[in-house]
Structure 1
Amino acid sequence: MKRFVLVGLPSLAAAGALAAYRPLTPPAAARVPVVVELFTSEGCSSCPAADAALRELEAAQSVPGAEVIALGQHVDYWNRLGWKDPFSAAQFTERQQAYAAGFGTGSYTPQAVVNGQAEFVGSNRAALVAAIAKAAQGPHAAVQLVRQGAPWPVQVAALPAGAPAADVLLVITEAGLATQVGRGENAGRLLRHAAVVRALRPVGQAGGSAFAAAVPLALRPEWHPENLRAVVLVQEPATHRIVGAASLPLGALN
């Protein structure tokens, strides 16, 4: 079992310690991580187009200034309509409902949520690109994944000025997943997905500039390690605004 250590850097005094680290991600000034959550379902006939749009944007990384991080969350409320989505979970339905309460909208699929602040139909590629580009211009925490040798640290250098305490979440995604659907609205179709969220859990709360935790990284045997990615989110609980993120392919840990 691999482990991550999440380390908050309280001041510039820690900068010297970072000299020993070799970054795995590009400098924040080059590309700002932007999180796109896609609430989707294999039972929804309009969802495959949204999955394709997000999958292509993440692969191409074509939005200037942004590093697109895709989080495909399969909701479970379509399961009663003829096809049970194997990637669905009530947890993702509940997360979508929390967003819906904040936005004042109902839950629907496919729904895209960008950095917790903008929502729209997930197949609207133009809206997706515009929201990602806008989010990349906003203030953000300096979250960076680095290589030092096991265990693997994450630095959360600082929250944006004036930001309240924020939840730190660990997400595991798996890319390259596809399903031959046997029933329901997509019967007979081979569906290829954007990065599917396999696990999402809180690991603590960051306030000011200090955060530290040792987080076990438990992977299930049916997941394919070469397609897995760990994502760290820093998200304000009241506004749902994601103020920082970083990701690391888990193949880099082998």
Structure 2
Amino acid sequence: MSRLLVPLLLLTAASRGSPALAPAVPNEAVVLVELFTSEGCSSCPPADALLAELADERASGSRIVALSEHVDYWDGPDWRDRFSSPVFTQRQQAYARRLGLSSVYTPQLVVAGRTDVLGSDRRAARAAIALAAREPSGRVAARIVSAAAAKLSLRVDATWSGSVPADVLVAVVQDRATTRVAGGENAGRTIEHVAVARSLTAVGSGAGAFSGSVTLALPDANRAGHVVVFVQEREGGPVLGASTVLLP
């Protein structure tokens, strides 16, 4: 069953396969869909499967970019989700505050930073994605300058409507992963994941635009498949634009 975290005051792989990244299409809305999940949560595998279905899908003039972010509050002293990080737990808590939720939970889908739904609810997920696709979408363009010695250098150029202050973030993503879970509610099960975020780094900020070169570490570089670059209002606000780049 899913676990609720009561206090918001506590602010605190794998094969190198698809999902294939579709090329950008001019004027196409790009919708970032984030799944907050854990290998220790028995309600999460159906949400993992739904994310695989949605990952980088195109529908009604929009493209879905997926991120699977593994929280750490399901981890125990004898077992931990190997993809979990307090970074993702803190990000989920920021969304809870912004969206007015009384707690965080798994599995949770956050769509474009604007709304959340139960991560396994296909109908609600698609409705939220369709709604988000109608919102103005900024332009995010990124290209790899170099990727060597566990370091990634990117050139990022982004613009978004208005002059709202926003952060530019880069997620290093493992395309697919398979785990034989050793603990938690899924002990003994084999779980498939897609679009697993291995790191998430704020690389810059701006008000309406950002242009610059950024460098960040490549965690488990031999397993990373692509990066997601996106612009987001601060403190868990709306996602204003996103793009994906394949790693060499």
TM range (shorter): 0.7 to 0.9
2:26 is aligned to 28
Q: Give the residue type in structure 1 aligned to 2:33.
A: V
Counterparts of 1:239 and 1:113, CA distance in 2: 10
User: What is the TM-score with the length of structure 2 in the denominator?
Assistant: 0.82
Does residue 192 (structure 1) correspond to residue 192 (structure 2)? The answer is yes
* Counterpart selection for 1:154 from 153, 156, 159: 156
1:235 is aligned to 232
From the two aligned structures, give the one with the greater strand fraction.
2
1:76 is aligned to 72
Whether the 8 Å contact between 1:168 and 1:202 is mirrored in structure 2 is yes
Counterparts of 1:82 and 1:39, CA distance in 2: 22
2:183 is aligned to 183
1:16 is aligned to none
User: What is the TM-score with the length of structure 1 in the denominator?
Assistant: 0.80
Aligned in 2, Cα 1:148/1:82: closer, same or farther, shift over 3 Å?
A: closer
Q: Give the residue type in structure 1 aligned to 2:178.
A: A
Aligned in 2, Cα 1:188/1:26: closer, same or farther, shift over 3 Å?
A: same
Q: Give the residue type in structure 2 aligned to 1:84.
A: R
Counterparts of 2:41 and 2:146, CA distance in 1: 43
3-state SS of paired residue (1:166) = strand
Q: Offset at 1:112?
A: 0.5
Whether the 8 Å contact between 1:28 and 1:142 is mirrored in structure 2 is no
Counterparts of 2:235 and 2:71, CA distance in 1: 22
Does residue 112 (structure 1) correspond to residue 103 (structure 2)? The answer is no
1:99 is aligned to 95
3-state SS of paired residue (1:70) = strand
Q: Offset at 1:155?
A: 2.4
Identical amino acids, percent of aligned pairs: 43
Aligned in 2, Cα 1:168/1:109: closer, same or farther, shift over 3 Å?
A: same
1:31-56 CA-to-partner distances (Å, cap 9, x unmatched) read 32110111000000000000100111
1:104-132 CA-to-partner distances (Å, cap 9, x unmatched) read 21100000000100101100011111111
Q: Offset at 1:134?
A: 1.4
Q: Which stretch of the first structure deviates more once superposed, 131-140 or 91-100?
A: 131-140
Q: Offset at 1:230?
A: 1.0
- Unaligned 5+ segments in structure 2 are 1-21, 148-152
2:85 is aligned to 89
* Counterpart selection for 2:60 from 64, 70, 82: 64
4+ residue runs of structure 1 moved beyond 6 angstroms?
147-151
1:42-94 CA-to-partner distances (Å, cap 9, x unmatched) read 000000000100111115x1432221111111000001286410000111111
From the two aligned structures, give the one with the greater helix fraction.
1
Q: Offset at 1:163?
A: 4.5
1:3 is aligned to none
Counterparts of 1:230 and 1:64, CA distance in 2: 24
Does residue 137 (structure 1) correspond to residue 134 (structure 2)? The answer is yes
Whether the 8 Å contact between 1:25 and 1:145 is mirrored in structure 2 is no
Alignment coverage as a number of residue pairs: 221
1:219-248 CA-to-partner distances (Å, cap 9, x unmatched) read 2346424xx111111001156110111111
Counterparts of 1:135 and 1:46, CA distance in 2: 25
- Unaligned 5+ segments in structure 1 are 1-23
Larger Rg: 1
3-state SS of paired residue (2:76) = helix
Aligned in 2, Cα 1:83/1:49: closer, same or farther, shift over 3 Å?
A: farther
Counterparts of 1:192 and 1:229, CA distance in 2: 18
